[in-house]
Structure 1
Amino acid sequence: MVQKYCSPVRVYKQPFEMVMAAYERRFPTCPLIPVFLGSEILSDVQSEDGAIHTIQRSCKLSVDAPRLLKRSEITPGVEVVYFIQTNTLNWRERTLLIEAHNETFSSRVTVLETCLYSVHPENENWTCFEQSASLDIKSFFGFESTVEKIAMKQYTANIKRGKEIIEYYLSELISEGLTEIPRWTPPPPPPPQTSNLLTTLIPPDLHTDTSTRPGSTDPAEGDKLDAEYIERFLGQLTPMQESCLIQLRASLQQTHRGKIPKDEHILRFLRARDFNVEKARDMLYQSLSWRTEFQVDSILDSWTPPSCLKEYYAGGWHHQDREGRPLYILRLGHMDTKGLVKALGEESLLRHVLSINEEGQRRCEENTKIFGQPITSWTCLVDLEGLNMRHLWRPGVKALLRIIEVVEANYPETLGRLLIVRAPRVFPVLWTLVSPFINENTRQKFLVYSGSNYLGSGGLVDYIHSEIIPDFLGGDCLCEVPEGGQVPKSYYQTEVELEHADHIRLWTDSIYQSAQVSRGAPHEVMMEVVEESSVITWDFDILRGDIVFNIFHSKRTPQPLRKEASPALPELNNVQLIDGSWTLGVDYSMVESPLTCREGESIQGSHITRWPGLYILQWRASGPAPSNANDVIPSLTSSTHTCKLMYYTELLASYDFRGSMTSLESCHSGFSQLSGGTTSSSQSRDSSYISR
């Protein structure tokens, strides 16, 4: 594999002629570079007018190789290596091109280096320096990996040292009183021997190639990265990290047809892949395609959070932490995630999370300018007071994991630190479910405070100024983040309504389905169980009317009968599987006791199957228990009354079931401490479901 290095542009704030005088002091030896043992001039050629001066040197460098390699029979006594360096100094264009290659072991190892000194495109009294190199080890007696590591280590260790050495010699020249060196001027031309009509007619300035005039700029110059810019806006990077950034950036400029992302955005993907350029490129290209497909670049302008989200999404921006990172507050324990999903849908929640990430990146850029230091990530403070098992219902966890997956793939390394306070006992369960989907680098940024001692030393004040700690955490700063609360069921929408509400489909499927149940028209869902001890799970909300829920095991294969909407019942759209000719106890059997559910209730539950086969989940209008499950049941209100529900079902193989995942338990949801809907009687009524 060929190892490559590309440097950013490093700037000396001295004229080109002064930098050249400092550069020449490096030869024939340079005590400031210990590995540089000396040089010998092989050839010295100068053009007739003195504008171009080419010197070829043989340079001797010491080898900082392991003693085992130096004393091996393969490379006995190898203490130094020789490089051939060719310097082409063009005084007219004010450039110095340095090309070097190895002479030692050239048949087995190829080292190529190119360096260029040139005039700064925007200030002719400054000098730019940039370099590139490649290392290709064809074979080296089985020591290929060792030699590669040694060579790259030595090379990168001396990169920034080279700039310091030039600055040292510049200071030495100035201390000696040399502060200005005249620019090269061509010698006066000899008097013309004969008159030439053509040269007489053409003005002298048109004989000059204007593209090579001092101060002209190459169009590509604006695409190069300056070392000082990197340090100011991106942070301290090692030479190889700088090189990876430049390589990936150049690759994007050559192959990507759309808008090139900002340098800090590219750098995040490199960090996420440990500066592996190939892996970072693949990840970034996929993300750029995703951003284009779903119009994410314009989300801050196009996305307006619905009123329900503004009122019940308990999160918002709040000043910045001690390091200048934007601070985001999330009161997760006070947020009705289930209600938000049912009221808004996954797409709306995801778009809101994406808008938060986009806003976070914008705030990082603003804080970089305000605080005068690179700020590329933000801090998130999560308050878990109120978090309990009601937050761990499977559809909500699935939605959360999918959001994490999208964010991890497209916003890597944007989270600088995650502070979790007032973590309850249920938090380890949630962490067990979520942590496998979070990148290891991200997980290391989590700090959890489970008790109440989060304000003192060793707590939040180590990361957040005490004067901005939110009032609800015991601080003195008024925090305008919404308090959250239970989302009223009047906000709930069917999956059809959610489909029409979403203008950008980021996911193709929907968690919840809706159904309408009227007199004599139950709604039924079939599940085929291949393995005994599989787990059938459900979660549903009764939006209108009272409903009886039941589960059956069928010995016959049903033929679905879909009852379409009618003028009398325009909302009716359900599926009936159990035929009226079937006999309970013969063709199918009841595996759970019927559960009567009242309007407004939320039901979660699970059933562990005893046999393989077909299982049918049924919702029917409430009334007297029939002798046959498909008997006509009188409506509680009128013959035209239609019950309405939203439901989610899932079949888990037995090996996927986790007993600690108590979100599978059947219960009437009571949303944390914010609702009084949970009663001891309602929970005991479902105890048979929990035990099965």
Structure 2
Amino acid sequence: MHLTLSQFNQAYERRFPTCHLIPMFVDSEVLEETESEDGSIHQVQRRCKLDVDAPRLLKRIAGVDYVYFSQENTLNKRERTLHIESHNETFSNRVIIHELCSYSAHPENEDWTCFEQSASLDIKSFFGFESTVEKMAMKQYASSIKKGKEIIEFYLNQLEEEGISHVPRWTPSLDAPSSSSVTTKHVCATPKLLHLELPVTPAVSIPVSTDANKLDADYIKRYLGDLTPLQESCLIRLRQWLQESHKGKIPKDEHILRFLRARDFNMEKAREILCQSLTWRKQHQVDYLLETWTSPQVLNDYYTGGWHHHDKEGRPLYILRLGQMDTKGLVRALGEESLLRHVLSINEEGLRRCEENTKVFGRPISCWTCLVDLEGLNMRHLWRPGVKALLRIIEVVEANYPETLGRLLILRAPRVFPVLWTLVSPFIDENTRKKFLIYAGNDYQGPGGLLDYIDKEVIPDFLGGECMCEVPEGGLVPKSLYRTAEELENEDISLWTETIYQSASVFKGAPHEVVIEIIDASSVITWDFDVCKGDVVFHLYHSKRAPQTPRKDPLVGQHSSSTTPGGNNVQLIDKSWTIGLDYSMVESPLTCKEGESVQGSHVTRWPGFYILQWKFHTMPGSASTNLPRVDDVLASLQVSSHKCKVMYYTEVIGSEDFRGSMTSLESSHSGFSQLSHATSSSNHSQSSSMISR
């Protein structure tokens, strides 16, 4: 179909504010509409609401029902072009979608319209569903291209039915001014809802150099660092915008600059995350945190982190002995909120130290170096509520303290580290990952190691240096300091009410079993359970064939695989099965006492069915009893002490996700690549299993 650009534009505008031909297009509203004084340039900015065709599970995990896109249309009647540019607002920190459509008059036939369309999709992280999101985006994009032509034809036919078969070309009026300056015709009156408070200033424009919009060169060199004219312009304009739109305390240039750098000096994106952060700081009184926050004594005694001199570049140095920290004990004693506040106070202290070091060294120091010692790290640190608290802390810090980490040195990384990295890496910004340097074993002592970044005189004694370090050595938090679930709930901490944990009853002669089907070898099965009552023995078995439907044991009286308030009991291994023939043991039995918390993982060698089993622990002397097996079971069920209870959670990390998260980590040291190979090899032996308490 041949149509002029004027006809096309009239048909295109009829798609708004809603379009019944596009079911996923729910609504749209105009944020801003501008037109040049001579009427040749017409710009419209819209916010579109879409109901994306995504699985219900994915929507629930993401926490959204609708996705919002920003769209800017620029119609140049003089040049006879129409440019449509759109990008996503929802999940912009995880997924970046950018689409550009260009329409122009054909150079040889003005009754024809040329059309070009391009789109890009950059998925940084999306709750582990990156491949799913990519497939859905490609499917919907391909569908929209085909649908677009049908919609245009529909509205063109509608125009013809209304008697509009020709739209004359635009011609300038005789009294129109020659200037192409733009005047605003309409601005949306609900900036709070849209998270926009002023029209977006194009980031590519550079103002004319005047004293009013330039910073002093000495000031830049001393406090800000090297800035290009464009970067300097962005800083000035964002600061001016804050002065005009925000009442109260305006952040320092160094703080504004961090947000600009975090978004590659994109004014719109930097302003959005900075405004959100300023609102967050005000809401939680973060500016006064250092004066009002007093660390509980348990943190002073058992939190294994602290400031320690500075690195070779003058950056403040923070040391965290994560391998010596009892993460579960701290969470149980303090709750997630107190740990978060403590980490925020560390970041606030880091900002203060950067300012002090800037004055001391006479050059800009805007970030710090963090040294993390993983000596002692094991599966105990992968306790699920503890990891959940860590992910929340990472998310808050990433959003409000961008570009404050100059370098992260990870020392003595053990074999369990890849599992931890798999869990937390999707929540870490890609630019931040590039600052990670990982050393396995004692690699940090050689060339390219610690001495390249830290002076020998300040290397801590526990890392082979001569400097005494005041960072606490940690240790286990006494259980007497643990707080009850009710006490934690009173502080809005919901760690102990999570539904991811299931409860199960274990009887003598009636173990509880969970089956996990593995399709891809080299996947990782992880488990986390607490022995709430009694003593149990934990096993892990493998079978090539699927167990039968959970049977109902007449002695137990229940077989449901769903969680019930009183716990459940599911038995999967048939009594006719023979170990070594029908199924095999892939982990050595582990005896767990009442009150113990156990975390572990297993790198699978074969596909098939893996069965996790919790079995009643029989005391050594009970084997000599003369009671028959059935009578023994009946007797045990009548005695409350012969009933055990466990709370458990299991998760499978696919081989592709497990390896992919490791290969995405950038490191210049060969020690880490060896570590990655050792923990993801399909020929890894059973000794790769990691269990801790």
Q: TM-score, normalised by structure 2?
A: 0.50
Once the two structures are overlaid, the 10-residue window that deviates more, 243-252 or 450-459, is 450-459
> 1: distance between equivalents of 2:502 and 2:438?
39
Q: Which runs of 5+ in 1 are unaligned?
A: 3-105, 113-133, 137-147, 164-220, 564-572, 662-683
Cross-structure match for 2:310: 320
**In structure 2, what residue type is equivalent to 1:603?**
V
Q: Hey, what does 2:326 align to over in structure 1?
A: 336
Q: Secondary structure at the match of 1:328?
A: strand
Tell me the amino acid that sits aligned with residue 324 of structure 1: G
Partner of 1:411: 401
Structure 1 residue 482 displacement after superposition: 0.8
Match of 1:546 among 535, 550, 555: 535
In the alignment, which of 590, 593, 596 is matched to residue 598 of structure 1? 593
Higher mean alpha-carbon deviation, 227-236 vs 317-326, is at: 227-236
Find the aligned partners of 1:380 and 1:659 in 2 and give their Cα distance: 25
Letter in 2 for 1:598: K
Give me the whole-angstrom Cα distance separating, in 2, the residues matched to 1:316 and 1:235.
27
Aligned to 2:356: 366
**1:554–1:343 distance in 2 versus 1, CA, 3 Å:** farther
Q: CA 1:583 to 1:293, structure 2 compared with 1: closer, same or farther past 3 Å?
A: same
**Partner Cα distance (2:442, 2:689) in 1:** 37
Find the counterpart in structure 1 of residue 160 from structure 2.
none
Residue number in structure 1 paired with 2:462 = 472
Note the alpha carbon deviations across 1:307-331, whole angstroms, 9 max, x for none.
3332222110112223332110112
Change in Cα spacing, 1:364 to 1:553, as seen in structure 2 (3 Å) is: farther
| Cα displacement string for residues 213-259 of structure 1 (whole angstroms, at most 9, x for unaligned residues) | xxxxxxxx9x9976654443333322221221222223333334565
RMSD of aligned C-alpha atoms?
5.7
Alignment partners' CA distance in 2, 1:326 and 1:389: 31
State whether structure 2 residue 251 is matched by structure 1 residue 282: no
Deviation at 1:379, TM superposition (A): 1.1
In 1: Cα distance, 2:322 partner to 2:182 partner? 56
- Cα distance change, pair 544–277 in 1 and its aligned pair in 2 (3 A): same
Give the distance between the partners of 1:426 and 1:595, measured in 2 at CA.
Answer: 19
For the residues of structure 1 that align with 2:377 and 2:413, how far apart are their CA atoms?
8
Instruction: Using the TM superposition, name which of 647-656 and 280-289 deviates more.
Output: 647-656
Secondary structure of the 1:421 match is strand
Contact 1:230 1:236 (C-alpha < 8 Å) held by counterparts: yes
TM-score, structure 1 as length reference:
0.50
Contact 1:395 1:511 in 2 (8 A): no
TM superposition shift of 1:280: 0.9
Which residue, out of 436, 446, 451, partners 1:446?
A: 436
How do 1:251-270 residues align onto structure 2 when only pairs under 5 Å count? 251-256=241-246, 259-270=249-260
Give the deviation of 1:628 after TM superposition: 8.3
**Counterparts of 2:512 and 2:474, CA distance in 1:** 35
Taking the aligned partners of 1:442 and 1:238, their CA distance within structure 2 comes to: 23
How many residue pairs end up in the alignment? 451
SS at match of 1:236: coil
Q: For the residues of structure 2 that align with 1:331 and 1:135, how far apart are their CA atoms? A: 45
Aligned equivalent of 1:383? 373
Q: CA deviation at 1:531?
A: 9.8
2:228 counterpart residue number? 238
Aligned pairs for 1:187-586 (under 5 A) are 228-256=218-246, 259-388=249-378, 391-392=381-382, 396-424=386-414, 426-427=416-417, 430-431=420-421, 433-450=423-440, 452=442, 454=444, 458-493=448-483, 495-500=485-490, 503=491, 510=498, 537-542=526-531, 545-547=534-536, 554-555=549-550, 574-576=566-568
**For the residues of structure 2 that align with 1:555 and 1:583, how far apart are their CA atoms?**
9
Identify if the C-alpha distance between structure 1 residues 367 and 452 changes in structure 2 by more than 3 Å, giving closer, same or farther.
Answer: same
Preserved contact between residue 524 and residue 575 of structure 1 (Cα < 8 Å): no
CA distance in 2: counterparts of 1:445 and 1:351, whole angstroms = 24
Distance 1:311 1:245 in 2: 42
CA distance in 2 between counterparts of 1:541 and 1:553 reads 27
1:15 matched residue in structure 2:
none
After TM superposition, give the deviation of residue 403 of structure 1 in Å: 2.7
Q: Secondary structure at the match of 2:396?
A: helix
Structure 1 counterpart of 2:294, one-letter code:
T
Taking the aligned partners of 1:403 and 1:297, their CA distance within structure 2 comes to 18
Supply the distance in 1 between the matched residues of 2:236 and 2:416 (Cα, whole angstroms).
46
| Residues 324 and 475, structure 2, Cα contact 8 Å, conserved in 1 | yes
Contact 1:110 1:135 in 2 (8 A): no
- 1:361 alignment partner AA: L
CA drift at 1:619? 8.4
Question: Take 2:279 and 2:301, find their aligned partners in 1: how far apart are those partners?
Answer: 33
Q: What is the rounded CA distance, in whole Å, between the counterparts of 1:685 and 1:385 in structure 2? A: 23
Residue deviations 1:396-455 (CA, integer Å, cap 9, x gap): 545434432222122110011222333445545554554443223222323334464645
2:317 is paired with a residue of what secondary structure?
strand
Identity of aligned residues (%): 60
Q: Name which of structure 1's ranges 453-462 and 549-558 shifts more when overlaid on structure 2.
A: 549-558
Residues 286/527 of structure 1: CA separation in 2 closer, same or farther (3 Å cut): farther
Paired residue type of 2:299: L
1:380 is displaced (CA, Å) by 1.0
Structure 1 residues 460 and 369: CA distance shift in structure 2, 3 A: same
Question: Which amino acid counterpart does residue 332 of structure 1 have in structure 2?
Answer: L
1:377 offset after TM fit, Å?
1.0
Q: Provide the rounded CA distance (Å) in 1 between the counterparts of 2:406 and 2:631.
A: 57
How far apart are the structure 2 equivalents of 1:390 and 1:561?
27
Measure, in 1, the Cα distance between the counterparts of 2:471 and 2:502: 33
Three-state SS of the structure 1 residue aligned to 2:567 is: strand
Looking at structure 2, the residues matched to 628 and 365 of structure 1 have their Cα atoms a distance apart, in angstroms, of 74
Relative to structure 1, the CA distance from residue 507 to residue 646 in structure 2 (aligned partners, 3 Å threshold; closer, same or farther) is closer
Cα pair 2:505 2:568 within 8 Å, conserved:
no
Look up the equivalent residue of 2:268 and give its one-letter code: E
- What's 2:138 paired with? none
- The 1-side partners of 2:284 and 2:512 are apart by 36
Q: How far apart are 1:651 and its partner, in Å?
A: 6.7
Q: For the Cα contact (< 8 Å) 2:503–2:646, is it kept in 1? A: yes
Shift of 1:362: 2.0
Aligned partners of 2:630 and 2:486: how far apart in 1?
A: 32
- Aligned-partner Cα distance in 1 for 2:415–2:561: 45
Q: Relative to 1, partners in 2 of residues 1:506 and 1:517: Cα closer, same or farther, differing over 3 Å? A: closer
Structure 1 position 342, deviation (Å): 4.3
Give, in angstroms, the shift of residue 335 of structure 1.
2.4
Letter in 1 for 2:592: C
CA apart distance, 1:277:
0.8
What amino acid maps onto 2:233 in structure 1? S
- 8 Å CA contact 1:429–1:660 kept in 2: the answer is no
Change (3 A) 1:254 1:473: same
**TM-fit CA distance, 1:541:** 3.0
Cα offset for 1:357? Answer: 1.1
Deviates more, 1:473-482 or 1:443-452: 443-452
Partner of 2:139: none
Find the counterpart in structure 2 of residue 677 from structure 1: none
- Structure showing greater Rg: 1
